[in-house]
Structure 1
């Protein structure tokens, strides 16, 4: 082999080695970068937000009904025929005003009979009293009257007095029944129904009322508040409401009373607001839409709405605690802008995963 050829081969080999060294280094560096990228891809990173403990006021809108403050069906307490009617539907009446008169001739005859019996028994009582007084005067003379005769006379007086008192009570009862033949208004109001005509039989044997009277100068605004808002009701809560018969007009009132207990059939709390209606703008029976400003008695837990996970098995939030994901069951409360009130085992330092999904599993991450 000639020197020239050998030198040429060595030169080529040296050049190849020189080129291969940086190439190998580049490949190793690229492999390291790829490994780091893959490791980064495997690392899980969930955006989180802190739990909020706040005590805000919030507004709700609830349907309600305006009712007369008082409304009664007026019945006749005794049986009789309607003799005279003095009012009709739509008439305004005052408390104690005469509405109708019934007639029952047999009741008048019974009163006259009881009154005559009372007078006879009273006469008997007076006679017994006089007889006793005479015997008592005579007994002052020794031996004139036997002691037993005096005792008998005294017993007769007491018996006659008792009979007189009973007869007087019976006459008073009959007289009172006669007063029931005059039907009067129990309070100021308006006649909303007149259900009888002159000559009709009314009284205990009939289930038909004579009139229905409703109070119109004062109304009750009644609504059913859902259970989740019941703990937010406080004394003095103000309400604004509207009625469909007067669009655009807003009325104000203040809470007067609550039922105190949740109704079993719909798990709601009944609220009542007294509404002054002296002007007569409103009418009982209207449906109203009420806006209430409520506030919890104590601060509660709030999380972003988008952090709540709803599944077939329930409602949850996902908490990231020391690189460990936990699924916490919750119950939703009220809503405020982008926040939702929640109830569950949530602590003040909990970090809520903002974008939960069913694919996110519980357990330690990023090991």
Structure 2
């Protein structure tokens, strides 16, 4: 249930055709405390308070010298095909020996045991090729894992928004549960208001409402009802309503008071 964060005065104008005006507060739709996947020393921080950021934008990088060295080593190992080529050459030699033994056996020049030994050597060399190929695939997977670990050293924004607070700087240590910054999404905005329980039946999700903001002074915008509390507050005899208000270009600031009007007669 939405909790009142300001004193609410609900005023209903006389007459069914008039609108009902309610006090409200404009909030960011999302506020995110951004941290890292792993702890570490901050190599660089690329944001400051007030910056506009996009989802996926790099906010900071942790020191990753060890991970970079590991990737260089594994890249060399994964790219090396010498072992496979050597085993393939041995396999081809064993295959040629087996074919030659079979031909000689057909001429009664060599024994059956010699043929069977040549066949066995060919099978062993075939499996050695397969093992070499498996080892190379494992190295490639290890390289991919090392790159994933390196990716955890980069902190990106989870949303489009504005940096409300930058908490750490380059050279500081980011703990496992620490936060680098706080980011607020301002498009859309979330307008919170509380309505007398006698008006409950007049509200529905998707209902258009007029929102008059304080800044820019007395501008009127149209939002839509997004959430209606299903549990009434018995003490205040009100229920909470959340309104989604589009805010292209982050033009309207959050944190301001406002007025909400809806056409009671239309419901």
Do Structure 1 and Structure 2 share a fold, with TM-score over 0.5?
A: yes
Q: Does 1:181 align with 2:142?
A: no
What do you get for the CA RMSD once the two structures are aligned?
3.5
Q: Does structure 2 retain, via aligned residues, the 8 Å contact 1:218–1:274? A: yes
Contact 2:191 2:245 in 1 (8 A): yes
| Cα deviations by residue, 1:246-289 (Å, 9 ceiling, x for unpaired) | 5543332233x336x72588798764433222354421233433
Counterpart secondary structure, 1:273: strand
Q: TM-score, normalised by structure 1?
A: 0.53
1:76 to 10, 32, 36: 36
Residue 302 of structure 1: aligned partner: none
CA spacing shift, 1:277–1:148, aligned 2, 3 Å: same
Preserved CA contact (<8 Å) 2:94 2:118? no
SS at match of 1:151: helix
Following the alignment from structure 2 to structure 1, what is the Cα–Cα distance between the partners of residues 148 and 207?
Answer: 47
SS in 1 for 2:75: helix
Question: Is the CA contact 1:231–1:296 (under 8 Å) kept in the aligned structure 2?
Answer: no
Are 1:262 and 2:206 counterparts?
Answer: no
Q: Using structure 2 for the length normalisation, give the TM-score.
A: 0.69
Flag structure 2 segments of 5+ consecutive residues without an equivalent: 1-15, 103-114
> How many residues in Structure 1 have an aligned counterpart in Structure 2?
237
Separation of aligned partners in 2, 1:213 and 1:273: 21
Q: Secondary structure of 1:291's partner?
A: strand
Per the alignment, residue 82 of structure 2 pairs with 123
Correspondence 1:111 to 2:71: yes
Within 5 Å, give how 1:319-334 maps onto structure 2. Answer: none
2:50 aligned partner: 90
Q: Which has the higher contact order (CA 8 A, sep 6+)?
A: 2
Deviation at 1:71, TM superposition (A): 3.3
Question: 1:215 is matched with which residue: 179, 185, 188?
Answer: 185
Q: Residue 227 of structure 1 contacts residue 262 of structure 1 at CA under 8 Å; is this kept in 2?
A: no
Instruction: Tell me, yes or no, if structure 1 residue 153 matches structure 2 residue 125.
Output: yes
Q: Please give the residue correspondences for 1:162-177 in structure 2 after superposition, counting only pairs within 5 Å.
A: 162-177=134-149
Contact 1:220 1:274 survives alignment (8 Å)? yes
Secondary structure of the residue that 2:43 maps to in structure 1?
strand
1:91 and 1:180 map into 2 onto residues whose CA distance is 23
Does structure 2 retain, via aligned residues, the 8 Å contact 1:138–1:144?
A: no
**Equivalent pair of 1:237/1:294 in contact (CA under 8 Å):** no
